[in-house]
Amino acid sequence: MLSLTAVLAFAGTSAAQTNPAGSITPEVLRGTTVDPATKKAPAGAKTAVPAKKVTAQKTAAAPTVQRGTTQRATPETLRAARYGGFAPAQPPGPPPPLDTVSPRSLSFVSFNTQETLTVTYWSNGAYHRDALDKLNHFLRDSRDNALTEMDPLLFDVLWHTAQIVGYGGPVEVLSAFRSPTTNAWLASVSRGVARDSQHMNGNAMDIRFPGVPVFKIRQAARSLNMGGVGFYPRSGFVHLDTGPVRYW
Please report the domains of the chain, with CATH numbers, ordered by start residue.
Answer: 4-22+76-247 (3.30.1380.10), 46-74 (no CATH)
On the question of pLDDT at 6 being above 70, the answer is no
Q: What phi and psi, each to the nearest 5 degrees, are found at residue 237? A: -145, 170
On the question of pLDDT at 27 being above 70, the answer is no
According to the model, what pLDDT value does residue 4 have?
Answer: 53
Per-residue pLDDT tens for 53-86?
A: 444 444 444 444 344 444 444 444 444 444 444 4
On the question of pLDDT at 52 being above 50, the answer is no
Helix intervals (H) in the chain: 4-8, 48-70, 75-83, 129-138, 152-165, 180-189, 214-224
Neighbours of 40 (CB within 10 A): 6
**Exposure of 163 by Cβ count < 10 A (0-12 exposed, 13-18 middle, 19+ buried)?**
middle
Per-residue pLDDT tens for 175-227?
A: 999 999 998 988 888 777 888 789 999 999 999 999 999 999 999 999 999 99
On the question of pLDDT at 124 being above 80, the answer is yes
**Exposure of 15 by Cβ count < 10 A (0-12 exposed, 13-18 middle, 19+ buried)?**
buried
